[in-house]
Amino acid sequence: MSEPSETPDTVKTQGYFQPLGKIGHYDLLKKIAEGGMGSIYMARNTKDKTVVAIKVMSPNYVHNPVLLKRFEQEYRVASKFNHPNLVRALEFGTENGLPFLVLEFVNGESLGVLISKQGKFEELEGIKIIAQVAKALNQVHKDKLIHRDVKPDNILVGKNGIAKLTDLGLVKEVSVGDLNLTRSGRGLGTPNFMAPEQFRDAKNADIRCDIYSLGATLYTMLTGELPYKSVNPLETWMKKVQNDLPTPRELNPRISERTDWAIRRAMDSDPDIRPSSCREFVEDLVGKSTRKSTVNNAALEKANIKPPSEAIWFMAYNDDQGKQHVVKGTAKAIRRSFKDGILEDPIKYKLGKSAEGPFEDMKIFPEFRDLAVHLTKPNTNANSKTKQDGEPTPITIPDESSKITKEPKRPQTETPSKIYYVVGAGVVIAISLIIYAVISLR
């Protein structure tokens, strides 16, 4: 939806705007957005004088049963939530044959408008906003729902800095499917921000599709560029399945390597490589767990033990004879050892918080996940999981007091031959043309 350049503040709304008309017990004050299904107005409740937003369906669509059900679904779903980062639905009704939806009014603008005004966001600012949206999506996912249309235009940022996710009209209920509101083989959402599997068939969308869209939204915020801009839908899909997209750091070198990696992981063509939850995506961005620390500082103080200034990790590995060894070091020292090539192949090593274990795969821990999760290489078959050149190298300073045992280097895996690449590309193009033909006939 397009929005005006400025949204009046609430005080002016209540005191100075003349009504444009009336819907129910609401005076319409100003049109604030226009979209394909209808218009959104700023309105005032004549009973308690509160300011709300009202979405009114266009007369062109009131006889479309699918769109009517989606409109009703948006209210039914949004009214279930009372989350600080989700726009609340307050009321649903019909006036003169036109359905309308009363929503919480957000005194601010959409991310789409903000990006068009100011261009790219600073990295920390962008992550703070996306972390709020991730909390909202996490709640949606806990309720067994998939949003399916996460994008900058559906994220409102108030003047108080609070971000709110809106527009639940395309929500899919995991337990009951899609209420037959989506035809098989049809992708719903916005092509630039959709995961490739959702692009093929929206009925197959799951949590990882929303995470893809969240990553694509952050991509746009930090680069000022739409993913896969200026290409037709078929070419967009082909580029998506091949990860044929400039990395965030290529477009904005000021982006950190960790954030660049986290975005690329969230937007990977292979859903199995993406984070499995919104919490995990935020952990990828910040490089640490979002869960509360298990360290009991009160108990340490009682025992007159000073908490360590930097956590010590214990790393277990087996030598050539199968004997297990355990070494310790800070996160900085361990990461530096991989960066410098002293240690290779993170899959060989497991980490724990004590010398006795338990020891778990490195990808379990946000501090090391970027070392252990290999992204799909661009411009190759989407099922390839070979390590991508230029994976993030941590910007850290090694702890010289921490000793890490040097491991023998392993031979590098050979790259696929050119003929396999050509054949794979041909298969992708053929499948794409078939899908395009099927969609065109519908």
Question: Which residues are known catalytic residues?
Answer: 149
Residue type, 179: L
56 and 45 Cβ atoms separated by less than 8 Å: no
Half-sphere exposure of 429 (CA within 13 A, CB side): 7
Cα angle 250, 211, 151; round to 5: 75
**Burial zone of 68 (CB within 10 Å; 0-12 exposed, 13-18 middle, 19+ buried):** middle
Q: What is the Cα–Cα distance from 270 to 182, expressed in whole angstroms?
A: 23
Half-sphere exposure of 65 (CA within 13 A, CB side): 3
What tokens appear for 72 in the block? 């009703």
Q: Give which of 11, 16, 7 is closest to 158, Cα–Cα.
A: 7
Q: What is the Cα–Cα distance from 361 to 438, expressed in whole angstroms?
A: 43
β-strands 98-104, 108-110 pairing: unpaired
Q: Give which of 261, 301, 255, 304 is closest to 281, Cα–Cα.
A: 261
Q: What is the Cα–Cα distance from 334 to 357, expressed in whole angstroms?
A: 17
